[in-house]
Structure 1
């Protein structure tokens, strides 16, 4: 029994060492991710990759600032030349956390974490599959910008990327996000709510009468059987 306290101390020390190693590893990983992007900017557009035209950047900046003033929600549009071996989701999430996008509000305030990071990594020398696009939605906006909405915005951006015109493409996505948030928050500013409404489609992608075909056939069968 005399060895029991010593064994317990050894186990406890091993657990503490494991925890320290895990913490150090996590800190190193986070530091590695944050090295991919600059410190928090003053504005809403951070074009590190240098692919946005001034007109698109100014329009996005103006709309994002107008939205922030009206709702407290924030949109950060970021372009990076590379994200190394990290996933676009990981980097976009790290940007949102490091910059505090949409986080300046008390607990319980609907504006808390009401932020979106729209991250674009342009194609490398025009090679297919070498670019990335991510729309990271904060918890404060998940009920307004759903996964389906984010998918629509992504499709809109991709369809606008003809000729690698990144500025107009991100502007289209930014306008769509501004409209979704403004309408979801009940804003009356027409410049926001009408910036770029997304098309309303049937949940199944077709006519609402589409599912009535089998029902009508069954009714016809019953009538004929009764005859």
Structure 2
């Protein structure tokens, strides 16, 4: 391999797969939970909030209620008071209350293992539904957040202007049986080595290996 030339896309894909597997052979799910319902609520709370903060808040929320039947009985104001540190608490509290009632009314109190049904729940977008499908039910999915979107551009895996296009590109490039672990591996790598501040496309191991000839920071399109 000529270390003075940038890798071609198939070479980048192979290197990224191997390197991330070396670094994170069994990536843990970053949000603490005990079942699909608590994962769903935790992922909803993680919107514009760190996983660390969510994990600090959810134990207090589960003391109030940790099932759709119990949560539906809790006043929205009480839910909001507990989750306030996560930000956007008025909207999130209403969504948690409403989706809990819908799970009771339409899904026998269970979180559905169907992405279309999940996306119909209040406060649950495509990314949240994809996380639940992959991490709660083991169904291949590739949730793309802003961090994965950033790294995919730095690594030349997409030129998409939004997370929807980036998801399509990544699904096309990587084996389906690696999607669930890979999206977690990319998140962990982005936090540890290729964050928005610590790397500009020329600093971390993967960026330098894939693009050794890159001399200037890689501009990325925010979703």
TM-score range, shorter chain: under 0.3
Larger relative helix fraction: 2
Larger relative strand fraction: 1
Q: Which has the higher contact order (CA 8 A, sep 6+)?
A: 2
Report the structure number with the largest CA radius of gyration: 1
TM-score (norm 2): 0.25
TM-score (norm 1): 0.25
